Amino acid sequence: MLMSGPIIVALHVFPVLSMGMSLITVNEASRIIEEATGTLPAEEVSLVGSMGRVLRQTVHADREVPPYDRVMMDGIAFSHKDWQNGGRNFAIAGIQAAGSPPKTLPGSGNCFEIMTGSVLSAGCDCIAPYEEVEIKDGFAGVIDGFEAVPGRFIHKKGSDYPQGASLLQPGCRLTSRQIAVAAACGCTELKVTRFPNISLVSTGDELVEMGQPVDQHQIRPSNVYSLQTGLTALGIPTVKRFHLNDQPEELEKIIAGLLEVSDVIILSGGVSKGRYDYVPEILAKLGVKKLFHGVSQRPGKPFWFGVQEDRSPVSVFALPGNPLSTLICFHRFVIPALEKMLGLPVSLPVWAVLAEPFDFKPPVTLFLPVSAEPQSNGLLSAVPRPGSNSGDYASIVETSGFVELPGRESDEFPAGYCPRYFPWN
């Protein structure tokens, strides 16, 4: 079942996984999330405001492309018949400028000076660039060695696309290239996926807002800032941030309100098995049904996902809150869900080659930070850069992404092994 309502992402700071938690595989988790995620509605925006948005309409050519026989070089235009009759020195009958209606060649032995981008003058079928011409006293003489070929330097009308051809398809992200095409087709507005309304919510009495003094027993809310940056890189410009203490009444009231107005809510904290981890209980009370809790992966085993179906469908992610776990789960699971919400096609997998062997004994999928660089043979070489633990956020600064080493496939991954690669955004 496809769902287009808000997504909630929750993160906690407790790495311990309950022994009673039933684990599913990484692929099973991806499948469940994909099936529970739909595409947001479309809206119309101005062409100039569509940069970075995801197109939700087909853009057709409103006329032939190009719409006229377009001159591709500055020079002179003349008739090939005159050339065949020995004409090499032509009287200049005028100038055919870009944007002016087509002139008509007045008779044999004449030419027009003609500009790049202009319509081809009537009666002309040959172009000689200025580099091949000497102009003097109102005449243009073609220099020796030049050969006139009909149609050369002329972009024929309709040679690229006929009128009505589909030039842009739904699901593409609008960059300068697509916007140029839309503008050429006369589109002043475009139908695009509306931006999701996203709220980032950090929870926990141990968190202190940026700019405030931090005691030894307190930490700063780094996860919500890294996630906000990741969302911005995804093309989602506006995110609202909140911080809530570990108070059940406050959590329930604020989360209930955000479910009504948000498409995406990211909760940080309170979803593990600790005494003050109220988020799972509150989500259940608010009608969120758990679909899984626990994935056979490292880092990020306590990954939780559920849906609310009472009103508009709501998808709920609960990611482990250690910084490395948060970033990896965000890139591996949340970004694909958000891309589907935006109407983007499924991203093609990227593969890398391990530059060094790596051993990993536990039978779970390992997300291994790496430094990856393209090689002259076209392969992406990945050097393992494992951190000391899932809270070691500083160690990934010098990495480019992570690879996915599947659990139960092998304990040893030799140099040359090709895992899937996920770059940091």
H or E element, residue 31: helix 26-35
Whether 126 and 152 have beta carbons less than 8 Å apart is answered as yes
d(Cα 265, Cα 199) in Å, to the nearest integer?
Answer: 5
| pLDDT score of 313 more than 80 | no
Whether 134 and 143 have beta carbons less than 8 Å apart is answered as yes
Q: Is 225 helix (H, G, I), strand (E, B) or coil?
A: helix
pLDDT attached to residue 261? 82
d(Cα 152, Cα 6) in Å, to the nearest integer?
Answer: 57
Write the pLDDT tens digit of every residue in 354-383.
999 999 988 999 999 999 999 999 999 999
Cα 301 from chain centroid (whole Å):
27
Other beta carbons less than 10 A from residue 211's beta carbon: 6
Q: Tell me the H-state helices in 36-164.
A: 80-84
Phi–psi pair at 248, nearest 5 degrees = -55, -45
Mean pLDDT, the chain, rounded, equals 89
Mean pLDDT throughout 298-306? 88
Mean pLDDT throughout 380-409? 87
E-strand spans in 258-323? 264-268, 288-293, 297-298, 304-308, 314-320
| pLDDT score of 4 more than 60 | no
- pLDDT band for 318, please (50, 70, 90 cuts): confident
- pLDDT band for 18, please (50, 70, 90 cuts): very low
Whether 202 and 243 have beta carbons less than 8 Å apart is answered as yes
350-423 has which CATH code?
2.40.340.10
d(Cα 29, Cα 49) in Å, to the nearest integer?
Answer: 36
Burial profile 240-254: b = 16 or more Cβ within 10 angstroms, e = fewer: ebbbbebeeeebbeb
Phi–psi pair at 307, nearest 5 degrees = -135, 150
pLDDT attached to residue 8? 52
d(Cα 378, Cα 402) in Å, to the nearest integer?
Answer: 19
Residue type for 24, please?
A: I
Burial label for 371, CB within 10 Å (0-12, 13-18, 19+), is middle
Mean pLDDT throughout 219-232? 88
pLDDT attached to residue 365? 95
Segments making up each domain of the chain, as ranges:
7-41+195-342, 46-61+160-192, 70-155, 350-423
Q: Is 339 helix (H, G, I), strand (E, B) or coil?
A: helix
Of all residues in the chain, what percent carry a pLDDT higher than 70? Answer: 94
- DSSP-derived pairing of the beta strands 264-268 and 239-244: unpaired
What is the architecture, at CATH level 2, of domain 70-155?
Beta Complex (2.170)
Write the pLDDT tens digit of every residue in 168-185.
999 999 999 999 999 999
Write the pLDDT tens digit of every residue in 283-293.
889 888 888 88
pLDDT attached to residue 26? 96
Phi–psi pair at 290, nearest 5 degrees = -70, 130
CB within 8 Å of 378: residues ≥ 6 apart: none
- Say what the pTM is: 0.86
| pLDDT score of 425 more than 50 | yes
Q: What topology does CATH give the domain 7-41+195-342?
A: Molybdenum Cofactor Biosythetic Enzyme; Chain A (3.40.980)
Name the least confident of 44-48, 235-239, 332-336.
Answer: 235-239
Whether 83 and 57 have beta carbons less than 8 Å apart is answered as no
Phi–psi pair at 141, nearest 5 degrees = -100, 130
pLDDT attached to residue 391? 66
Length of the chain measured in residues = 425
pLDDT attached to residue 367? 96
E-strand spans in 207-269? 239-244, 264-268
- pLDDT band for 260, please (50, 70, 90 cuts): confident
d(Cα 352, Cα 382) in Å, to the nearest integer?
Answer: 6
Q: From the options 3.60.15.10, 3.40.1280.10, 3.30.9.10, 3.90.105.10, give the CATH code of 46-61+160-192.
A: 3.90.105.10
